[in-house]
Amino acid sequence: MYRRKRLAALGVLFGTVVLMVAALAAPASGEVIQSGCSGSAAFSNGVTVFEYTPVEEVNEVPEMDEVIYTGMIDLPPADEPEPFSGNVTVALPLGQRWTAASWPVPPGETETVEASGTYRYEVPGFVPRGTGGLLVTAFHQQRGVTCEVAVTMALAGDPGAVAYVATAGTVVFGLGLGAAGSRRRIS
């Protein structure tokens, strides 16, 4: 009986650790969907990504930078202003998403089908650093045409205190499970 309880506790511990590692693992790839668009983003460290950059390729970028971007959707310019929208999102561990940018700001309309310029970003502390690739998706919709492109990016830097606290929490949780499954002797 004691041995079964201990094996059950170890099984739960092992299963929990496997699920946590699987949930925290950064995606190594994803689907790239292109629907008549082109674009690029050039970072100060020399990394440039395009709509055709393979999603399996991990591109390391600084945690704050001024990126030079271009984008064009394959439509002729409109005769009158029309609504458009888009965003760039980052897939985080445990199924969360962070919107890095969205447009237009403020909401509006345009006749153009292309844009270029610079965008200054600073990634918040909850986004993992130095831990591998994160799937970044750029989305744009205009005049019934949708364009979605995904690339894999990694933030340069040390994983930081959050990773160490999570590791320590996992160890403490595992020790607690082990202790819960052990039989205490009363003297």
How far apart CA 158 and CA 155 sit, in angstroms, is 9
Report pLDDT digits (tens) over 97-121: 999 999 998 878 999 999 999 999 9
| CATH numeric code, 27-157 | 2.60.40.3880
Nearest by Cα to 128 from 151, 96, 102, 101 = 96
pLDDT of residue 114: 93
pLDDT of residue 59: 94
∠ CA 25-27-30, nearest 5°, is: 165
Does residue 8 carry a pLDDT above 60? no
Mean local confidence (pLDDT), 168-177: 58
Q: Which two tokens stand for residue 171?
A: 């160890």
**Three-state secondary structure call for residue 12:** helix
Mean local confidence (pLDDT), 119-134: 88
Count other Cβ atoms within 10 Å, centred on residue 63. 15
The residue extents of the domains of the chain are: 27-157
β-sheet bridge partners, residue 153: 59, 134
Residue 75, CA atoms < 13 Å, CB-side half-sphere: 22
Report pLDDT digits (tens) over 13-58: 343 333 333 334 444 434 456 678 999 999 999 999 999 999 999 9
Does residue 83 carry a pLDDT above 70? yes
Q: Which two tokens stand for residue 5?
A: 């309880």
